[in-house]
Amino acid sequence: MDIQVDEQGGVTILACEGRMDAQVSDLVKDRIRELLDNGATRLVVDMEGLDFLDSSGLGALVSCLRRVKEKKGEIKLAGLRPEVRSIFEITRVSRLFHICETVPDAVKAFAKKE
Amino acid sequence: MRKGKRACKWVRADVSSLTEISRFVQDWLSQREGYRESRKERYLVELAVIEACTNIIRYAYPPSSAGQIGICLKEEGRRIEILLLDQGIPFDPAGTRPPDLHESKEGGYGIFLVRKIMDSVTYRRRGGRWNCLRLVRECVRGGDGEQVGEGLEGLRRRIVSGEEEVR
């Protein structure tokens, strides 16, 4: 999996491409922990390029959300493919995250909260 | 891999094999009627296999062991059957408790997802050393926009609406 990090108006955007499974779930956690340690608290995970997500990837995102919330921050998810979104809904993990259609929607949602 | 109705493969029981397992399952499904037209259907079956294999990799064998997983795919009429074989610690998914979906758990969703996606999940210990996990999916067939059976979307609707009891 490839993760590209960008910033837009004080929001850190992680564009994920490829597979988020047991092979890379720890890498995702480490990458987000690193960003938190560097002061990022408003994050958007761009999942448009994500081909596959399993329960390990889902668990990694929940773990990261907990850490971000400890720092009074938030993670928003954007660009989920229908099949990926369904996994969030079946496991009801969808209620933990603010899920936006697109990255600009997620960035705007952060701006509205200011 | 054979292009026929049956295909089998052995892989090392390691997370580094997951991509290879996915490709194997996707390639086989893309030749099956109903699945070749529906990315969502292929995704669901791939997810169920990956969840079950990840469980074997994590819990059946000691770390850094040379354990293997056998994956056999079979089509019979409109149903597909997946048999997963390993020689690790016996494990019957029927004995696992489903996650409490009201809590924000980080784990415990794997077997839950396998059960939700597949119509039948059965475990047998054979010959005193083989764990055989059989996953069956009946005839949920149709394209992405024209789903014949209930499929994941119907299941999702029933769970969200509270009609579906979470087992």
CATH assignment at residue A45? 3.30.750.24
**B140, pLDDT greater than 70:** no
CB distance B44 to B152 below 8 Å: yes
Is B80 part of a structural domain of the chain? Answer: yes
pLDDT at B14: 94
CATH assignment at residue B10? 3.30.565.10
pLDDT at B99: 82
Pure H helices in A38-97: 55-70, 82-90
Contacts of B51 in chain A (CB under 8 A): 54-55
pLDDT tens-digit map of B77-131: 889 999 999 999 998 888 888 888 777 788 889 999 999 999 999 999 999 999 9
**B163, pLDDT greater than 70:** no
Instruction: Give Cα separations from A35 to A30, A32, A52, B162 (angstroms).
Output: 9, 5, 23, 38
pLDDT tens-digit map of B22-60: 999 999 999 998 898 888 899 999 999 999 999 999 999
Contact pairs from chain A to chain B, CB under 8 Å: 80
More confident position, A41 or B156: A41
- Residues A37, A31: Cα–Cα separation, whole Å: 10
- Residues B26, B89: Cα–Cα separation, whole Å: 28
ipTM attached to this prediction: 0.91
Q: What percent of chain A has pLDDT over 70?
A: 98
The answer to whether the Cβ–Cβ distance between B109 and A21 falls below 8 Å is no
Best probe of the B interface among A80, A89, A92, A93, by most B CBs < 10 A, is: A92
Is B1 part of a structural domain of the chain? Answer: no
The closest CB to that of B109, out of A58, A66, A86, belongs to: A58
Per the structure, the complete domain to which residue A61 belongs is given by 2-113
Domain total of chain B: 1
pLDDT at B44: 93
Give the helix/strand (H/E) hosting A48.
strand A42-53
Residue A95 tokens, joined: 């209620």
pLDDT tens-digit map of A57-101: 999 999 999 999 999 999 999 999 999 998 998 899 999 999 999
Domain total of chain A: 1
CB distance A99 to A88 below 8 Å: yes
The closest CB to that of B106, out of A21, A63, A87, belongs to: A63
Residue B138: CB partners within 8 Å, gap ≥ 6? B78, B79, B119, B149
pLDDT at B147: 40
Per the structure, the complete domain to which residue B93 belongs is given by 6-161
- Please state the rounded mean pLDDT for residues B154-165: 52
pLDDT tens-digit map of A4-62: 999 998 999 999 999 999 999 999 999 999 999 999 999 999 999 999 999 999 999 99
